[in-house]
Amino acid sequence: MKAIEIEGLIKEFDGIRAVDGISLEIEYGEIFSLLGPNGAGKTTTISILATLLKPTKGKVKVNGYDVVTQAGKVRHSIGIVFQDPSLDDRLTARENLDIHGRLYHMKKDERRKRIEEVLEMVELQERADSLVKTFSGGMRRRLEIARGLMHKPRILFLDEPTLGLDPQTRRHIWNYIEKLRNEGVTVLLTTHYMEEADKLADRVAIIDKGKIVALGSPSELKDSIGGDVIKIRCSDANKMAAILSSNGFNAMIVDNEIIIKAKKAEKEIPRVFALAKDIEIKSIMYKEPSLEDVFIHYTGKAYREEAGDEMEAIKRRWRMRR
């Protein structure tokens, strides 16, 4: 049995396909990441796994239970940290956790013990009795993770666990997620931060417009695009790309920059200069591929958040806090 089995999942909202035929299996104990830009379908997929939305089509099992016909059993198997904040900030940290434990019918002693454990895990013991409204964004996020773990779920869903947090807080949260690995919790996290998926996930599914465009471990994905990535800026990108393409390179223009791949970049760069002739090369650099390059490779477009979209998501988070 797998922790999560998804087969041919489709979700439509009034004719819009938010999830367009996803199939995926996640093993117990894995940290798995759905990585994709705004609107890719990450939250929709997690919401279906968590039984908050019904699939339009397809079969989905979580912890061996069907999300439609055995929704109650699924809910008991999982913890979830939502993309948008969902703590009651008029209550203390401890009270938020206690309410959650009651919802899951945990006994008083069990709740008391578990509250200490989860608070310790996210290093919030000292603030246990402070009102959540006095917490910073990072502290709230940590408390939400603690709450997701309160009833000892086998599987934890984290929807954008570090959205809008500063780099230092983000790294703290990564540490807690790493700890979950040792505790044997299966984690499915969504993110649009390449670095986050790269650092944390055993395997990553890159999704775009509701479809999986690539799936594998971060290093498999990077290897799959074949060697180093060379980026060239020059006086005439179209002409240069055409020359490169007719000389055996697979050249792509993204953001006015030419991207080519090479097994060994050092060997190919002199050839690029030789081919340029009257085209002025303004800059040329090469690097080992990142997940960003993987995204570009499989979708043919730049991985760029609409800056406004990320700001919108962060603002929404703040609004909901009030």
Q: Which residues of this chain interact with ligand ATP, rule CB under 6 A?
A: 13, 16, 18, 36, 38-44, 83, 192, 313
CB of 83 to ligand ATP, least distance (A): 6
* Burial classification of residue 214, based on how many CB atoms lie within 10 Å of its CB (0-12 exposed, 13-18 middle, 19 or more buried): buried
How crowded is residue 76: how many other Cβ atoms within 10 Å of its Cβ?
Answer: 15
40's contact among Mg ion, ligand ATP, none, with CB below 5 to 8 A by partner kind, is ligand ATP
Q: Closest CB to Mg ion belongs to which residue?
A: 43
297's contact among ligand ATP, Mg ion, none, with CB below 5 to 8 A by partner kind, is none
The tokens describing 223, both together, are 């290897």
CB of 213 to ligand ATP, least distance (A): 13
75's contact among Mg ion, ligand ATP, none, with CB below 5 to 8 A by partner kind, is none
For ligand ATP, the closer of residues 23 and 238 by Cβ is 23
Distances from the Cα of 29 to the Cα of 32, 111, 114, 189, angstroms = 9, 25, 21, 13
CA 51 – CA 49 distance, rounded (Å) = 5
Q: Which residues contact 245 (CB under 8 A, 6 or more apart)?
A: 251
CB of 83 to Mg ion, least distance (A): 5
38's contact among ligand ATP, Mg ion, none, with CB below 5 to 8 A by partner kind, is ligand ATP
3 state DSSP class of 62? strand
For Mg ion, the closer of residues 45 and 92 by Cβ is 45
For ligand ATP, the closer of residues 56 and 245 by Cβ is 56
Most distant pair of Cα atoms in the chain: their distance: 78
For Mg ion, the closer of residues 42 and 261 by Cβ is 42
92's contact among ligand ATP, Mg ion, none, with CB below 5 to 8 A by partner kind, is none
CA 269 – CA 285 distance, rounded (Å) = 9
Residue where the block lists tokens 């002693």? 109
CB of 39 to ligand ATP, least distance (A): 4
The tokens describing 26, both together, are 């996640």
What's phi and psi for 175, nearest 5 deg?
Answer: -60, -40
Return the ∠ at Cα 220 (arms to 214 and 225), rounded to 5°.
Answer: 65
For ligand ATP, the closer of residues 16 and 274 by Cβ is 16
Binding site for Mg ion (CB under 5 A): 42-43, 83
CB of 220 to ligand ATP, least distance (A): 23
CB of 156 to Mg ion, least distance (A): 16
CB of 302 to ligand ATP, least distance (A): 16
For Mg ion, the closer of residues 40 and 291 by Cβ is 40
> How do 281-287 and 257-262 pair as beta strands?
unpaired
How crowded is residue 320: how many other Cβ atoms within 10 Å of its Cβ?
Answer: 13
For ligand ATP, the closer of residues 14 and 126 by Cβ is 14
CA 114 – CA 107 distance, rounded (Å) = 10
Q: How many CA atoms lie less than 13 Å away from 174 in the CB half-sphere?
A: 17
16's contact among Mg ion, ligand ATP, none, with CB below 5 to 8 A by partner kind, is ligand ATP
85's contact among ligand ATP, Mg ion, none, with CB below 5 to 8 A by partner kind, is none
